[in-house]
Amino acid sequence: MHTIIRSIKTKQPAPAFASATAFRRPHYDCQEQTDALKLVVYVPGVEPAGIELEVRGPDLVVTAPKSHRVRANWRAAHLESAQRDYQLRLRLGFSLAYDALQAALHDGVLTITIPKKSVVVATCAVA
């Protein structure tokens, strides 16, 4: 029996893709309200000072590093994936006022409230 093995050329992953695998995607809930959008992101083990919120056009990027503690009785237990930092990328659009964004962290639950931009309705008056 003959087997033909062809060499497969693989592309090197882009640096952005390689850095994205270093993060975990947290669980989240999105609730649309009449005047705002409310995001609830579950990030246990995160300190409030380390959370970064970044707006890139229509995207919101939440990066929340976990506080890494080394225990005195440390042994390898394949916890590498559970100890990764959190990063959430959401495309929310241009209809939100990102400059008025408010965030609060309580017991590992990050609540982000982004108000909607006010819509100005143009009316035409007949003269």
pLDDT digits (tens, 9 = 90+) for 20-73: 468 889 999 999 999 999 999 999 888 888 899 999 988 999 999 887 665 666
pLDDT at 80: 53
Smallest CA-to-CA distance from 85 within 24, 20, 19, 16 is with: 24
pLDDT tens digits, one per residue of 68-107: 665 666 665 555 555 788 999 999 989 999 999 999 999 9
Instruction: Please state the rounded mean pLDDT for residues 107-122.
Output: 81
Q: Which CATH class is domain 26-115?
A: mainly beta
Question: Where in the chain are the domains?
Answer: 26-115
pTM score, whole prediction: 0.69
- Please measure the distance between the N-terminal and C-terminal CA atoms of the chain and give it in whole angstroms: 90
How many DSSP H helices and E strands does the chain contain?
A: 1, 8
